[in-house]
Structure 1
Amino acid sequence: MTGNDEKEKEALRKCLAKEFETKELGRLKYFLGIEVARSSEGFLISQQKYVTDLLRKTGKLAFQPASTPIDINKKLEEASESPAADREMYQRLVEKLIYLTHTRPDIAFAVSVVSHFMQAPKEAHLHAVNKILHYLKGNPGRGVLFRRNGGMSLDVYTDADYAGSPIDKRSTLGYCTFLGGNLVTWRSKKQNVVARASAEAEFRAMALGICELLWIKIILEDLEIKWE
């Protein structure tokens, strides 16, 4: 619960307490694996404990960290000649990594790639998942910082590769939106159709990015927040 009227918040708390069993936990610090740290500069959301627990369960705490979450020069394919991996274990790992992208946009693309092989994973795909885990080992406390800068400009950046998937030749798009210079939403997603030119792939990425911007614009208007 949040707001700028302390009396109204207290009245709402009392109203809720009449109908439900409630407990006042104070300022938000930890919720569903997401940690919130405040300072005079702003606040940081991260999942350090979640990452550490994941590395401990997978036995990766003692491994050397990787500098990148994925090898860009090596395209993941179906790898039909590679031995099959444990599908349930692979799916559990990828699902945990998907949840981690809530505070780690730096692994969004890599997780998007490995999630394409959930139904029939091979050892080559499991190696790619392990590479992401090794990358997380390097900085488990990294997250998203929201600064107190007072600005309310709304910006979106988009990009796309061209026929990046060696399996179906579809392109992968990405976008990120900033409100007041702070990153608020991001996504990496394979496009639904095969682009016939790099310009078409870029245009589809721009269209999706603008849709996201318009959605945020509607939310801000509903909250009566002025934006640039």
Structure 2
Amino acid sequence: MSDRGTLSYYIGIEVTQGKEVLTLGQSAYTSKLLERSGMAECKPCVTPMQVRLKLTKASTAAKVDATLYRSIVDGLRYLVHTRPDVMFTVGYVSHLMEDPRDDH
């Protein structure tokens, strides 16, 4: 095994190392995920989910592309590794992966 120097990138996670700090991030991955979901131009917000949002499997809204929905949710699940603040929201939308609907 050889020393390859300071770690800067590993399986989609950007690593920044300081003397006493190690920072993990996924900004490039997040940008690609936003583009794929059609949300690249959206404004950032502090709360990652509408307060008191009620999602249901019994919706009458039109179905969305289930493959794209699953892909985006899976991408969000991977993002949780460096963004635990979105963990609740990702878990909440994950329960609709069987039959996603467009409730917007």
TM bucket (normalised to shorter chain) is 0.7 to 0.9
Which residue number in structure 2 is paired with residue 206 of structure 1? Answer: none
**How many residues are matched?**
104
SS in 2 for 1:106: helix
TM-score by length of 1: 0.43
TM-score by length of 2: 0.88
Which residue number in structure 2 is paired with residue 48 of structure 1? Answer: 27
Which residue number in structure 2 is paired with residue 70 of structure 1? Answer: 49
SS in 2 for 1:123: coil
Where does structure 1 lack aligned partners over 5 or more consecutive residues? 1-12, 14-22, 128-228
Which residue number in structure 1 is paired with residue 84 of structure 2? Answer: 105
- C-alpha RMSD over aligned residues: 1.7
For 1:131-170, list aligned pairs within 5 A: none
Q: 1:41 to 1:60 in 2, by over 3 A?
A: same
Q: State percent identity of aligned pairs.
A: 38
Q: 1:24 to 1:40 in 2, by over 3 A?
A: closer
Which residue number in structure 2 is paired with residue 91 of structure 1? Answer: 70
Distance in structure 2 (CA, Å) of the matches to 1:80 and 1:58: 21
Which residue number in structure 1 is paired with residue 13 of structure 2? Answer: 34
SS in 1 for 2:95: helix
Deviations 1:101-147 (A, max 9, x none): 111100000000000011101102xx5xxxxxxxxxxxxxxxxxxxx
Deviations 1:201-228 (A, max 9, x none): xxxxxxxxxxxxxxxxxxxxxxxxxxxx
